[in-house]
A and B are shown apart, each in its own frame.
Chain A
Amino acid sequence: AQTVTQSQPEMSVQEAETVTLSCTYDTSENNYYLFWYKQPPSRQMILVIRQEAYKQQNATENRFSVNFQKAAKSFSLKISDSQLGDTAMYFCAFMMRGYSTLTFGKGTMLLVSP
């Protein structure tokens, strides 16, 4: 079974600064997908970024980028130029290739302050 670990329950950052959220996972599979989802206070679950394990290039989406280290089974999320609207719970998630079930980490609460 796959497990996803987010070791930082809470993090704080000031507006305009950069912050990195950690995620590690455990799997014996070689082909899989990794995701970061954001859950703001409004409770929505919003897809932030997706990484395919067979791609070496790190995914980026505007101010969001990942550092994917397959050998270390690490998938961290970097948020550049943090904005107040980035305040949210961030979930790392794993999906085996050939499936659609997401396995989530326990989340990191990010607070962006002025």
Chain B
Amino acid sequence: DTAVSQTPKYLVTQMGNDKSIKCEQNLGHDTMYWYKQDSKKFLKIMFSYNNKELIINETVPNRFSPKSPDKAHLNLHINSLELGDSAVYFCASSHTFTNQPQHFGDGTRLSIL
């Protein structure tokens, strides 16, 4: 009965590789997000999608490409991974785009060797 689920929970890979993180929500929400939490635990918005359309892109390098095949899924693909991409990535969703609290997944810890 998980509300927002991300896979994988852990991802260890080498610099230069391409990897994807998947996110699914079963809450019937319209809006989904990706956040990055750095090594100092600071959380920052990366992307926001509403009904499969990109709403927010917070100056994230274009090596990061989100894809939303339907409003229940928002996947994150990262090309040419760099050491600085090591972080925990959180997916979240909210009922609508405005004025709603967000429900978070359990995070994906990405480690670049």
Contact = CB atoms under 8 A, between A and B. Distances in A.
Interface residues of A, number: 24
Given A35-B101, A98-B98, A104 B44 contact: yes
Given A43-B88, A45-B90, A100 B102 contact: yes
Interface residues of B, number: 27
A91 B90 CA distance: 14
Contact of B43 (A46, A97, A100, A104): A104
A50 B33 CA distance: 19
Interface in B53-95: 56, 88, 90, 92, 94
Interface string A43-57: 111110010000000
Contact of B106 (A43, A98, A106, A107): A43
A68 interface: no
A84 interface: no
Interface of B: 31, 33, 35, 40-45, 48, 56, 88, 90, 92, 94, 96-104, 106-107, 109
12 contacts: A39-B41, A43-B109, A45-B107, A46-B104, A91-B43, A97-B99, A99-B98, A100-B94, A100-B96, A101-B48, A102-B35, A102-B43
